[in-house]
Chains A and B, each alone.
Chain A
Amino acid sequence: MAYRPPRHPCCRVILSNRAILAGIAAGRFDISPLAGRDPAISPFNTSAVDLRLNNQIQVPKRHPAAVDLRQPGIAQFLTKISDTFTITDEQAFTLTPGKFVLAQTMERVDFPLTSDGPCYSGRVEGRSSLARCGILVHFTAPTIHAGYKGPITLEIANLGPLSFLLYPGMFICQLIIEEVEGIPLDAPNQFKGQTTPAGLTQG
């Protein structure tokens, strides 16, 4: 029997490719649609899974005002000062040097909160091939917290000297999944809270 040293209670556990698939199969968390389910080939690495770029690129525009994040309506303001582009296999987005855009992954993740077993969180990291070209895919907020459900938003910037084309479906980042030590919420349940009646906007 192979030696397995005792695990310190404070050790973080990063899931292997097989453990990621096992966790999905067991309903502990979800990533879909996966680009493949063979752990020995793409989109899997040994301890991460590659995610793909979705077909929308959001480009923030310059604005003369300095934004006070304490003031209300920030989400609505950011919506108004951004242009959204739809990219296709025939029409890519050109990420020129110094450009900053927002994008999302094709894959939607779900890390539900539960009190009857371990919870999981994710960490978005760039891909080394893109990094060597000067392309960042996240800045300072890589964590996908336990309890999050939805696509992953990426902050993409080109710090290199070359322009690059962004196509939908290209592998753009990798997701590392970690087991959360302890239960974030005791007996969590999902509720719906009412927003202000006039507050919901649709793009």
Chain B
Amino acid sequence: MFESEYAVEIQDGPAKISLFADKSLVQERGDAFFLEVYLVPANGDANGRTVLLPTESFETGSRWLTVPPATLVAA
């Protein structure tokens, strides 16, 4: 891992996915960490919203992820 990045682990339903993200994309707020993502406006509902991760995760090979809306805050 380079000094410029973090190894990030994200809960994806019952599973966890991981990726390397540039530190500029990660914010620490209190005891929570937030990763900067793009929200896909047209996708999702009250149960889950589609976001675009900075890079693909190792476990899924995809940048797309569905997350609970409550975990999202505006950048």
| Chain A contacts to B: CB under 8 angstroms | 56, 58, 69-76, 78-79, 82, 84, 102, 104, 108, 113, 145, 147-151, 153, 185-197, 199-203
Q: Given A58-B1, A191-B75, A195-B9, answer yes or no on A113-B38 (Cβ-Cβ < 8 Å).
A: yes
Total count of chain B residues near the partner, CB < 8 A:
50
Q: Which residues of A contact B38 (CB under 8 A)?
A: 113, 147, 185, 188-191
- B4 close to A (CB within 8 Å): yes
Q: Which residues of B (25-75) have their CB < 8 Å from a CB of A?
A: 25-27, 31-42, 51-52, 54-55, 58-59, 61, 63, 65, 67, 71-75
Contacts of A187 in B (CB 8 A): 41
Please tell me if the beta carbons of B24 and A72 are within 8 angstroms of each other in the complex: no
* A192→B34 contact, CB < 8 A: yes
CB-CB under 8 A from A185, the residues of chain B are 38, 40-41, 52
| B71: chain A residues within 8 A (beta carbon) | 193-194
Chain A hits for B59, CB < 8 A: 69-72, 74
Q: Is there an interface contact between B7 and A196, defined as CB atoms closer than 8 Å? A: no
Check if A75 sits within 8 Å of B8, measured CB to CB.
Answer: yes
Give me 14 A-to-B residue pairs in the complex whose CB atoms sit less than 8 angstroms apart, sorted by A's number: A69-B58, A104-B2, A150-B5, A150-B54, A190-B39, A194-B32, A194-B35, A195-B8, A195-B32, A196-B10, A197-B33, A199-B8, A199-B9, A201-B9
Assess whether B1 is in contact with A84, with CB atoms less than 8 Å apart.
Answer: yes
Which residues of B sit under 8 angstroms from A78, Cβ to Cβ? Answer: 1, 7, 58
In the complex the two chains form, what is the Cα distance from A78 to B33 in whole Å?
21
In the assembled complex, the Cα of A203 lies from the Cα of B19 at a distance in Å of 14
| Residue in A56, A187, A194, A202 whose Cβ sees the most chain B Cβ within 10 Å | A194
Looking at B36, B51, B59, the one whose CB has the most chain A CB atoms below 10 A away is B59
- Chain A residues within an 8 Å CB radius of B6: 200-203
A147–B10 CA distance with the chains assembled, in angstroms: 19
